Amino acid sequence: MIVVPAIDLREGHCVQLRGGSYDDELVRLADPVAVATRWRELGFAELHVIDLDAAIGRGQNTSIVAAICALSGLDVHVGGGVRDDESVIARLDAGARSVVVGTRAVADRSWLERVATANPDCVSLALDVRGGALTTDGWQVQTTSDPADAARAAAALPLYQVIVTAVDVEGDARGPDLELVRRMRAATSQRLGVAGGVASTDDLASLRGLDVDAVIIGTALYTGVLDPEALSQELHT
């Protein structure tokens, strides 16, 4: 299991939100590229970069994404507002290791199948969950769809990974939604990334015990709840 720092982009800054609420911003840092460079210096090999502005249709942070992807020695997984073939190709051309797709991928399975097949091992499926059901459009639209069903439907696709985010516990250090993780691990044999609520080494141990492949951490790293320099080598390389 590896640890992957999260970099969420908003208005040219690196931010962290609580509970997926754009009105509850916990962290705002002015230079996302410097943040990415710092994570690399600490030994992290992967980054999870989401353009929140693009996700909600209020602009984009394309040049920052490209600059982060251009950093050597990092596998960067990029998402936010990726809802057509051209957007997938543009991010791969910019150097992304995988492109994270969510909203359209959930609503249009034929599109997900097409882009995954056209770009094998280069597409990551994001399943954002609030109240046990999928939420889309930058966490602004709540559905009644079961994330496990979405994972099972994509089981045969040549994805890089499936990423499940428990939006309910994002940024509040309450611990991950372990029951959700159990359900998702049972639903897919794909590489599984988990985000939301991780705030202790005990949380990391619990996720490792559930056969999670990658843990995506934002707020706990930025606020010092987890000390990135204290994480053991095995957790981030």
Supply the residues annotated as catalytic.
8, 128
* Assigned token pair, 52: 């929140």
For tokens 């230079």, name the residue: 31
Side-chain-side CA neighbours of residue 150 (13 Å): 29
Cα separation, 201 vs 89, in Å, equals 37
Q: What are phi and psi of 42, to 5 degrees?
A: -80, -5
